[in-house]
A and B are shown apart, each in its own frame.
Chain A
């Protein structure tokens, strides 16, 4: 089972790089869609037993992250966004390199972190950390609002992976609650982006710098 978990985690890491290097919004959304499906799979694999609750959780994750949210995002791209590119602050190569160095750092340091690895492999903590970092990198370096939403999703995926370590400790209801939170957040963001684009005909966060004193 552990080898399967590790293999899926490697795929998740690779998808991070795909997201980091995506120049078009559709590619980016596709990357996060696949990542979402993989996470659902990961949940089922890591548990090892096919219990009902685990299956429900995995199914909900796949449906939400792999179908509902991506559909909303694609819809937004089609309806709202005039520029279909991610508008990176600096080059895609640079963000790739930053992501890579983040992953290396995560691999180096996660060994020294006080984390109980249990029986699901030692790759979980570094994969979680580097996914969080990748999410942050996308949030930091992409100006397009939808790219920001995707960055937030990847960040959340990282937290989700980290949650695998604590699967024994976190009750089922809380996991579902987190998922619901995520869904509502994305939903609200979608609505806000729609409104912003209707008002200002642009959803680039470059325009959002008037809030400082």
Chain B
């Protein structure tokens, strides 16, 4: 029953794009029908998931809905439905007659394929769903395929995703070699040699890391998220990259025996690098959506660190460590899906109103778009991991895991704690700085360009989905106890062989979080009310801030995003490489001049691209061989024959 509901939901999503093609002539009819289909699919799917949680359905030969699948299925059903509703206003069919139909078709198809990946328990089903998902992603990124930047981003995505798929093929081939079947079950103990397990581990890290955007493999992510329409970015950042995490989590549960400690070390190190470098690069961005994209990399880092702690718990036979780490990782998967979708949707609403993604061209939007500003602010607080919102809960679980590792009293476990806790703190601090910058420059102050002045608040179709996400962010933040049953089921499905698993609620005092969160909310409410009354009563005068004595101040003289990030950027100059084009020395009466800054991606721009450029340079020096002259080709054959003859004759 429950699996039928889930599958029907996925099927409805898969076909939700088709009415758009059929009823192309009717203005918005096809679009509306698409949304109804997607919404119905999501409602059915979520009901099916919850039913599967209470009464786990029997697993078939191809499909299985266990606890772990449910954990990842819930965001797969929630976010796309909200994105589809938002899309009817953000990407109206009438405004985009050329690509609106295609966008909705692949939007639904990708949703269904992501669900298919999570419920597949046969390698072929898994791979087919995986490829449909990956290719739909390509078409979504290149929605505006007349734009050169979008095409380049799509191509890069296609290359990276196929590197991942190649590793996945190798993974399943080795899996079949070991088990003799394509049914995805944990490999039995003692079949695989340690070397084979090492290969499988690295293949899984690369294959799923490409999709998840773990640091050295993240190169497709910023460009793709920035160029796609905002609700697609929300879907990709919120759900698609989580499917990469799902793959990694699943693959680790299929590998047999006690994992060696260095696996945990690798995961923790990768997570730490993704987290820190991601947030540092985000700090320097001046494109709002690129900034959010780098924060996705950061959050994936946190999730992978939680997973690393869980693997360490398995290695050291510490179920508490396992439960805390995995619960933190899985809950952060949800939380990131919620608040990153919220951030992308609210950023999209601002972009929709102003037609620019440049942070330094925006400003003062809070007055014109209060609901959008509220949503963005709430998402920002959540992503920084501050109480009383949901980001805090999951990061707190990872912290608890790290501190618990200290208490175990083995030298090995201290490494875990030493890696995890300080890095998490650093990430949190930098994220706060980054979102103070983003929110402050975009929503506060004065508008920096004429586009901003005409901005209007988005309609209910766009604000509604954001408020739903706000509700869930607050719900998980204030009452985390509601998610415990799902997380427990997910953990049980992951650690099948572990005998002494404990429930999450007995490890973490989630009730106290609720109390603290409520107290904090009350305090905020009191403070806000007090402030409001003071502003109301003591006549506020509007004027410019201190303008350094300039005779004619303009709104462009406000503190910019680049200047805000400069000091922190200079501290992290070793990773945040930037290109500045500054005006030189000026004469007494200076002319108009320009200043331009650009942050380079530490992997794509400073490693991958130069490597390929030098490869092209070297290889094009061999181009003369390809002369296009038939006599030259014949000469190569003869020369080769003579060489063979001499070689054989001399031997």
Contact = CB atoms under 8 A, between A and B. Distances in A.
B584 interface: no
Contacts of A169: none
Interface in A114-156: 114, 129, 133, 136-137, 139-141, 143
A139 B641 CA distance: 15
Interface in B606-640: 626-631, 634-635, 637-638
A114 B648 CA distance: 9
A89 interface: yes
Contact of B629 (A109, A112, A129, A209): A209
Query: Chain B interface residue count: which class?
Result: 10 to 19
Contacts, number: 42
B645 A209 contact: no
A113 B628 contact: no
A211 B628 contact: yes
Contact of A136 (B630, B637, B648): B637
Contact of B634 (A114, A136, A209, A213): A136
Contact of B631 (A89, A108, A212): A89
Contacts of A114: 648
Contact of B630 (A108, A109, A113, A205): A205
A109 B645 CA distance: 8
Given A141-B631, A210-B628, A212-B627, A113 B638 contact: no
A93 interface: no
Contacts of A136: 634, 637-638, 641
Interface residues of A, number: 22
B649 A209 contact: no
B638 A212 contact: no
B649 A109 contact: yes
Interface SS of chain B: helix
Interface in A172-213: 205, 208-213
B552 interface: no
A209 B627 contact: yes
B646 interface: yes
Nearest to A106: B645
Nearest to A111: B649
Given A109-B645, A109-B646, A212 B634 contact: no
A143 B637 CA distance: 17
Interface in B199-227: none
A141 B630 CA distance: 10
Contacts of B645: 105, 109, 129
Nearest to B650: A112
A75 B464 CA distance: 85
A140 B634 contact: yes
B615 to A, nearest CB: 17
Contacts of B635: 140
Contact of A212 (B626, B646, B648, B649): B626
Contacts of B634: 136, 139-140
A141 B650 CA distance: 28
Given A109-B645, A109-B649, A113-B648, A209 B628 contact: yes
A7 B24 CA distance: 85
B626 A205 contact: no
A131 to B, nearest CB: 13
Contacts of A112: 648-651
A39 B648 CA distance: 28
A208 B634 CA distance: 14
Nearest to B631: A140
A208 B630 contact: yes
Contacts of B641: 136
A208 B651 CA distance: 39
Interface in B339-389: none
Contacts of A205: 630-631
B635 to A, nearest CB: 5
B625 to A, nearest CB: 10
Contacts of A141: 631
Contacts of A213: 626
Interface string A99-112: 00000010011001
Contacts of A113: 648-649
Nearest to A112: B649
B66 to A, nearest CB: 52
The 10 A-B residue pairs with the shortest CB-CB distance in the complex, in nearest-first order: A212-B628, A109-B649, A209-B628, A136-B638, A140-B634, A112-B649, A139-B634, A140-B631, A209-B629, A140-B635
Given A109-B646, A212-B628, 7 more contacts: A112-B650, A129-B645, A136-B634, A137-B638, A140-B631, A140-B634, A140-B635
Interface of A: 89, 105, 108-109, 112-114, 129, 133, 136-137, 139-141, 143, 205, 208-213
30 contacts: A105-B645, A108-B649, A109-B645, A109-B646, A112-B648, A112-B649, A112-B650, A113-B648, A129-B645, A133-B638, A136-B637, A136-B638, A139-B631, A140-B631, A140-B634, A140-B635, A141-B631, A143-B631, A205-B630, A205-B631, A208-B630, A209-B627, A209-B628, A209-B630, A210-B628, A211-B628, A212-B626, A212-B627, A212-B628, A213-B626
